Structure 1
Amino acid sequence: MSYYDTLKELKSLSDSKAIEGMAKYGITPERTYGVSIPNLRNMARKIGKDHRLAQQLWTEDIRETRILASIIDDPSEVSEEQMERWVKDFDYWEICDQCCMNLFEKTKLAYQKCAQWSSREEEFVKRAGFVLMARLAVSDKKADDERFERLLPLIKREASDDRNLVKKAANWALRQIGKRNINLNRTAIETAKEIQEMDSRSARWIAHDAIRELTSDDVQQRLKN
């Protein structure tokens, strides 16, 4: 599918009512057609992997073109320069999370970037670091525990950041790491207890919520089976 055909199809799927509803969930891009994620995924299946088209769509700076770009891009062709360029364009949570889930977590630089970005000051760059941690904890089935043990101190280090979208992502990463297996569960709970002792309202919230889930009967039973 050509660049112009892709734009034409996106416009044909525009939904003004969906645009109104997005704001309720904090989805507030400046430009959007209101196309649903399932429809974007259907388009992506028709297009297939296309690195060149993904670059063109990203520069269009519309919600749908950027999400579609993240789905159709080929992770093996994504460079560090591209990741740094795209992450700086994140300006609301949905595009951050979609790009990390659809593309960045599948690149060879995923672990490097989640560590680097978690220390950055920009709100959505830092969020991207923690979203990547959370996603890798779920999707990278072959990774050893040490990979994730190295990430826990980074979560603790940034736990006092009280920006809502940052602390929620840090909490998400901590919980997902702690649900991988029983050993990481124990280590994540220990980290959460250390975070709980910090003189920070944000840190205490992150820790309390993580401990509540990671020590729950449901999680403990699943990990022991």
Structure 2
Amino acid sequence: MPAPSPDWTAGQVIDHLRATGSEENRAGMAHYGIVTDKAFGVGNSELRPLARRIGRDHERAKELWDSGSREARLLACFTEEKKNVDAAQARRWAGDFNSWEIVDTAADLFSEAGLLHLIPEFAADEREFVRRTAFAMMAWSAVHLKKEPDATFTGWLPLIEKHSTDPRNFVKKAVNWALRQIGKRSMALHSPALALSRELSESEDRTARWIGKDAVKELSAEKTLERLARRH
């Protein structure tokens, strides 16, 4: 098989994935809660270099996504042209989400593509992985969108509070993740995030209490405070 290149079609990419996957990798992925019923067994350590070799292509990314395989969908996210991703595409892809791994990878793409306005919509969605997308987008944006104003993040705190009682594993962990990342973004955001964390830690709801206590622990940690002070 020729070496991967930017002129590869979606079909060639999928043939390559099929040829390089392994049952051993599939078994390892399942151990980490990755859905493997449509996986070839190719690890991310191989997928990311492959993505760099084939480059970005909007039409091919859509075809890869529509193929339905785990690896093809991850490559679709890695090689999609963010300038061409619109809200309609994000909604379509979100409807296909079936694992935390796909959610978190696509959430990065959606945030980079400037689709933050979809966060309240995704948070309101009752589907577990769609709701997770909202909070994964918050967490990723808190770390990577350096120019985004603090007001954007304080505006998301009510959503965190509202959905802190969702006991589903992949939602509650993402809510907690978003709260912690927002609180670590800046000195100005630390205070309201910590205040919300303390409030949740005293909630009568078990899930909210877990989210709050875990966030308080990290946001109150000496190393977190030192890092914020240096950045400030």
Say which of 10, 13, 26 aligns to 2:20.
Answer: 13
Q: 1:7, 1:163 → 2: CA distance?
A: 33
1:47 positional shift:
1.2
Q: After TM superposition, give the deviation of residue 98 of structure 1 in Å.
A: 1.4
The match for 2:74 among 67, 74, 79 is 67
Matches within 5 A, 1:103-118: 103-109=109-115, 111-118=116-123
Q: Provide the rounded CA distance (Å) in 2 between the counterparts of 1:114 and 1:13.
A: 36
Pairing 1:128-139 to 2, within 5 Å after superposition: 128-139=133-144
- Whole-Å separation in 2 of the counterparts to 1:160 and 1:113: 21
* Residue identity opposite 2:218 in structure 1: E
Shift of 1:198: 2.6
Answer yes or no: is 1:91 the counterpart of 2:98: yes
Aligned counterparts of 1:212 and 1:131: Cα–Cα separation in 2: 20
Q: Aligned-pair RMSD on alpha carbons?
A: 1.0
Matches within 5 A, 1:119-198: 119-198=124-203
Task: Give distance in 2, aligned partners of 1:195 and 1:83.
Answer: 31
User: Amino acid of the residue matched to residue 147 of structure 1?
Assistant: T
Deviation readout 1:138-194 (Å, 9 max, x if unpaired): 000111110100001110010000111100000000000000111111110011122
Match of 1:40 in 2: 47
Aligned-residue offset at 1:124: 0.2
Tell me the alpha carbon deviations over residues 67-111 of structure 1, each in whole angstroms, 9 at most, x when there is no partner. 00011111110121110000010011111111112x1111121x2
Corresponding residue SS for 2:34? coil
1:42-82 C-alpha deviation (Å, 9 max, x unpaired): 11111111000011111110000100001111111012111
Mapped partners of 1:190, 1:3: distance in 2: 48
* Matched residue, 1:57: 64
Q: Percent identity?
A: 39
Q: In structure 1, what is the equivalent of residue 222 of structure 2?
A: 217
Contact 2:139-2:179 within 8 A present in 1 as well: yes
**Alignment size in residue pairs:** 223
Q: Does 1:27 align with 2:62?
A: no
TM-score, normalisation: structure 1: 0.96
Q: Retained in 1: the 8 A contact 2:26–2:36?
A: no
Q: TM-score, normalised on structure 2?
A: 0.94
Task: Supply the distance in 2 between the matched residues of 1:84 and 1:5 (Cα, whole angstroms).
Answer: 27
